[in-house]
Amino acid sequence: MPSQLILRLHPTYPWRPNVRQAHGLACSLFEAGLGDHAAQAKMFTLWPPAPIGAFDPDGIVFRFSWLGDGSPPLTLAGLDRVRLGNVTCVVKDADLTTESYSELTMPSTALSGTLTFHSPTYFSRDGRVEVLPDPRLMLAGYIRRWNAAVPESSPLHVADDMTRDLTRAVTLGDYELHTMHMDSGYQKDRPGFVGSAELRLPRETSPGIRTVFTTLLRYSVYSGTGAQTTHGYGATSSEISTQ
């Protein structure tokens, strides 16, 4: 079930991990015992590591999400240290919260919501990189990740006709975005947009489409937006308007 894990770590000496080390930590937490790493579909996303704050200037916060239908394959009991590259970090705090897919689908009358992109966000389509806030690409990406965890036989599965109707109806509202570059994990910076953008539906939109729209806005907090979400891109939060 969608879960969010926040780890607060203290390294043995002042240091900041790179995106590949953060990705490696996520793999060690969520893929242990799941088979071949290269073949395993990634069911997690992560935010870029961030400093804890003034009260622990060397501390690092990691924020991960698990997207699988079942519970995340990790045990927090006894998790007192982790390694990132050659650096051992003491686990100061670990907080795991979960919501089921059914809990995310509570009916709503929302016609708009604001997404905030906390790390560079981009889309990969037909081999091309697109750094534009296309609401259709956003929602289509959320649906792909949702359906990867929810069986086609489930009533929670988003059908193709619903995907079509929703992506045709959604439009981009007010936005405040700018371009930012971030290390892609391969010694190469990649651009993306950060900031906030409002997504809107027409007032005459059916209740069914509104419910799926609202569900996906909630889900974006777990799934992230766009490409390379397993490397810290597309870290997303959402605010849903009921007006």
64 and 134 inside one domain: no
Residue 72: count other Cβ atoms within 10 Å of its Cβ.
22
pLDDT range class, residue 125, cuts 50, 70, 90: confident
pLDDT range class, residue 168, cuts 50, 70, 90: very high
pLDDT of residue 34: 53
Domain closes at, from 68, 83, 98:
98
128 and 220 inside one domain: yes
109 and 93 inside one domain: no
Domain closes at, from 51, 69, 98:
98
Domain that holds residue 11: 3-98
pLDDT range class, residue 2, cuts 50, 70, 90: very high
**Domain of 151: which CATH number?**
3.30.70.1900
Q: How far is it, in rounded angstroms, from Cα 152 to Cα 98?
A: 22
Q: How far is it, in rounded angstroms, from Cα 123 to Cα 219?
A: 18
pLDDT of residue 88: 86
pLDDT of residue 242: 66
80 and 147 inside one domain: no
Is residue 231 scored above 70 in pLDDT?
Answer: yes
Q: How far is it, in rounded angstroms, from Cα 228 to Cα 120?
A: 10
**What's the predicted TM-score (pTM) here?**
0.91
Give the chain's count of helices (H) and strands (E). Answer: 4, 12
Is residue 236 scored above 90 in pLDDT?
Answer: yes
Is residue 39 scored above 50 in pLDDT?
Answer: no
Q: How far is it, in rounded angstroms, from Cα 189 to Cα 7?
A: 26
Axis-axis angle for helices 135-149, 207-223 (nearest 10): 80
Q: Between vectors from CA 96 to CA 93 and to CA 98, what angle results, nearest 5°?
A: 165
Least confident of 100-114, 209-223, 225-239: 100-114
Any idea what DSSP says for residue 104?
G
Q: What average pLDDT is seen over the chain?
A: 88
9 and 127 inside one domain: no
pLDDT of residue 44: 94
Is residue 15 scored above 90 in pLDDT?
Answer: no
67: tokens are 């997207």
Q: What percent of the chain has pLDDT over 90?
A: 60
Query: What's the structural domain count of the chain?
Result: 2
142 and 234 inside one domain: yes
152 and 220 inside one domain: yes
132 and 156 inside one domain: yes
122 and 203 inside one domain: yes
pLDDT tens digits, one per residue of 175-199: 999 999 998 776 778 899 999 999 9
Mean pLDDT comparison of 28-37, 54-63, 221-230, highest-scoring range: 221-230
Domain closes at, from 65, 98, 131:
98
132 and 26 inside one domain: no
114 and 94 inside one domain: no
Question: What average pLDDT score do residues 109-132 get?
Answer: 91
109 and 198 inside one domain: yes
